[in-house]
Structure 1
Amino acid sequence: MMDNFKKFNMPRYEQVRWHIQTLLTENKWDEKTPLPTEQEFADKYQVSVGTVRKAVEKLVDDGVLIKQQGRGTFLKRPNFEGSLLRFFKYRDKDASYVIPTGVIKKVMLIEPVEAINKELNIHEKESLIYIERVRIVEDRVILSERIWLPKSRYEDFVGLEPEDFENLLYPFYYKKCGQFVSSAVEMLFFISNHVDPYLDNTKQENLVKVCRVAKNLEGDPIEYRESYGLAEKFSYEVNII
């Protein structure tokens, strides 16, 4: 199995790291199921335990895996749902911070969009899955989202209705289509003269637009998303230690 990498002169631990990533994605690994032990991996790939340990530590550093004392090593899913809450913090009627509920409003198969296909690094003629989603707090829409997915990766979404989707999208991507979001890059803009049908804003109200490209374990883009929220609700918070 490891012989295929000899011609690439790839370090042994990097070969093991790649194989572990492949194992996670191809088997739709459950976050609650511990990975095989380092000794089991060493036997499987015919390498030393030290080599496996280095590969696992690299995956931990990359945020792919997490070690739990006394329990083992597990797949780690980054908290992307909390990402936008860095910029938009909402309180309920009791003045407690709350996480908005996600509701799918629309899902459809659409023709290619040149700019979006470029963001997703896919062929210019590949069709897209298009999703409109809102985030709601106490029956009020506070975030509006547009999501584009490459059809080739999300074939099982074709024909689904909005009610078929779950509240958290990234776990649903993985469960339904085997697409694991491992990392993302976000860019934030303030925009004007944009009316969003779900936010029910006016042209005079400025909006914050957050563009996200989400990537899989291999670093390939598997989702492009644009999120919109009222600028008056925007805040920035960072802890510097």
Structure 2
Amino acid sequence: MLQLICLPCVLLIRQTLLKQKNKKPLLLLLRLLLLLLLLLLLLLPLPLPLPLTLPLPLPLPLPLPLPVLLLLLLLIVLLLLLLQLPLPLPLPLLLLLLIVLLLLLLLLLLLLLLLLLIRLLILLLLLLVLVPVLLLMLLLLILLLLLLLLLLLLLLLLLLLLLLLIIILLLLLFLILLAMLHNLFLNEEEEEEEEEEEEDDDDDGGGGSSDDDDDDDDFDYDNEI
């Protein structure tokens, strides 16, 4: 298929270059127009897959609709017929044929533009259908994010409460230890005071007995006299 398209292009270029000495601008313009259409057909996708053995580097675009292809082929056939006509044609007829071909080419371009606009319209409609779905998805994602933030805040509050409870318990333990140490010191001081009082009492009892002994000795001495 590619050979069928490329071969007329090559032949047309060769004939145009060989017959360039003929001062026929309209004929040259027709040949160039035919070459342009053939190149356009080469660049545009075909409705059927190409029987190529080698894989293409890029995927083929969507095929052209049948009316556009028929119009393009009609233009090419008309140009080929014009090139096969005898050369001594009247100038008005050539101009008229050229205008018709240009109008057909313009019609082809308008059809292609119409197809492009239709595809763009379909894409816009699909986007309009997908936009509410995307908005709903965004709303769901925002709600999920808010829920996650609330859960994080609750976890942070629980952690702060646990830290406060631990600090309060540690303070209570510290106060209890201080109270126990204070009681121990007070008990030791009381025991020391009691021991000192007992020692003082013992000292007072020993002094009284020695005075009594002295009085007894004096009484015995008086009796002897």
Q: TM-score if structure 2 supplies the norm length? A: 0.18
Q: Which has the larger radius of gyration?
A: 2
Relative contact order (C-alpha < 8 Å, sep 6+): which is higher?
A: 1
Q: Which has the higher strand share?
A: 1
Q: Which has the higher helix share?
A: 2
